[in-house]
Amino acid sequence: MSERLRRIVATISIVVLTAGLAACGGIPTSGSVQAGDPLTDEPTGDFIFNPLGPAKDADQRAILEGFIAAFTGPQSDYGVARQFLSSDFKKEWDPRQSVLIRTGSPTVTQVDPLTIDYSFTPKAQVDEFGAYSVTGPSTQTLQFTFVKEKGQWRISQAPPGIVLPESTFLSIFSKHALYFYDLSLKYLVPDERWFAGGTTATRIVTALLAGPPEWLKGAVVSQFPDGTQLTPGTTVTIDSTVAQVDLSAEAASADERQRQLMQLQLAESLGTVPGIGVVEISVAGSVLAIKPLGSDSPVTQRPVDSRPIVLADGKFGYLSGGEVSPIANLSAAVTGLKPLAVSVGEDATVAAVLSADGVSVVRAGQSDAGRIDGRSGLIAPGIDDFGYIWSVPSNAPNELMAFNYDGVGEPVSVTLPSGSRIVSLDIAQDNTRVAMLLQTVVGPRLIVAAIIRDPARGYLPVSIGTPVIDTLIDSDTAVDATWIDRFSVATLTDSDGGSIVGAFEIGGQRVSLGRPATTSVAIVGGNSKTGLRVLGGDGLLESPRGSSWQATSGKVDLIATQR
């Protein structure tokens, strides 16, 4: 960065807002897998930057540097940045098409008397709909052309979009989740996006109406009729906490139930925008009368019991106060199998159990467990809410099968890297996404992708979609992974003789959750990061407490995954 640009940036005034970053869902990737970036702390606040306009008689380099410094000011549709542009180009330039997030220092090169190249190393980018994706480490070059107007240099051609250092990006942009529905319309599924302040509500609604992102297509649906958009020329306005959303004529074709679900999608997606309490939908200016949803309303996330489910001293059940409380009509059959791993289904009425004989299903009220998969080398099974148990051999990750409770199995199409070993498989509570942790020759690899189901066959899982996260983890050995909540996945790996826990937000940043006190063998999620539990090789459970992990009293043999 030149000294002139340093002076420009130094003059930017920062006003700290009282609203913190909204806590909310892809980190889509393309190309070859790359090593994961170092885990960093999450951003803690929003800022408003007030960049300076062009100085009189500034040379081309100063104009370019001032223009790029003005990318920090999204106010008035990047009004300050447009002051650096020629009169013909001001309206043509589209700053919202993308955000390139760079690392390191850029390089500025004069190509010819009217052209300057701006080169940098990108780390990630955000597209026009706010979707965050990791990019490759290769250098990227943007070219800018200049013209003189009234004796002053101005930019006459520039690429669409803006470039920001990562720290500045995290200050200006905030996270918001767009919500879609799983195929059964039972759950709301988040898709995290990033938007700058100023027109956040309008941009959220525009992105929501554009439909699910590519990685979720086939796994989720929207309830807005095809072609629905904001009425041309309108924005989302907020009047006394009421967000007024005026939609095009297509929305009028929705029936009453569909209108209720449309309103819920909007309300949940706009719920993190300050000042919005209620959403009002109109079509061409006429407000739609929409009845409240009843008890069958889709849910964003059902809470997991805060008590871990464990096997200890021959007892299987909820652990609280050092005592294990059996699960009625389930515990005896589970312990009878001498389990190595257990996944407990919704309402704790069914469990998928891995034992020395393979994977079995245990159902409440049935004394005998039914073995459904007798293949060798199986990992801990997964279970979903549609009545399917997921099972796969560790050394054959592409031989993934979904079994119903009667033991009828169907292959789930998935393409995982050859030569890898699958260590864990965990299904999100909304049944639309799966997290898989692999061990590869170059280290642990985390993959998160959508689950494609067939509604005509009882929502049978038929394939795994294109990953939204596919990243190598800077560690030695993959141990386990789990969903923390509907937004993020935690990984447990070993490196340098100790365990490491990391959190990967789907569509956001990744953070380190530190090192448990002892080498750990399993991790399970709860309702938040504080609900995580790791099981140490010594049989002690640990949970996060601030920046460290704290062990509980008493030893257990295994800890089960809860739906």
CA distances from 286 to 244, 254, 282, 291, 417 (A): 11, 15, 5, 16, 54
CA distance 266 to 284: 17
Residue 32: its H or E element: none
pLDDT at 21 (0 to 100): 27
pLDDT at 47 (0 to 100): 56
Fold designation for 180-287? GMP Synthetase; Chain A, domain 3 (3.30.300)
CA distance 138 to 540: 45
pLDDT at 198 (0 to 100): 72
**Amino acid present at 228:** T
Q: What is the 3-state secondary structure (H, E, C) of 360-394?
A: EEEECCCCCCEEEECCCCECCCEECCCCEEEECEC
CA distance 32 to 102: 19
CA distance 166 to 40: 12
- Give the chain's residues under pLDDT 50: 1-46
pLDDT at 509 (0 to 100): 78
pLDDT at 48 (0 to 100): 67
Report which of 292, 281, 73 is spatially closest to residue 164, judged by C-alpha positions. Answer: 73
pLDDT at 403 (0 to 100): 98
SS3 266: helix
CA distance 135 to 145: 26
What are the structural domain ranges in the chain?
3-172, 180-287, 309-562
Per CATH, 180-287 and 309-562 having the same topology is answered no
Report which of 496, 484, 497 is spatially closest to residue 537, judged by C-alpha positions. Answer: 497
CA distance 439 to 155: 50
What's 309-562's CATH class? mainly beta
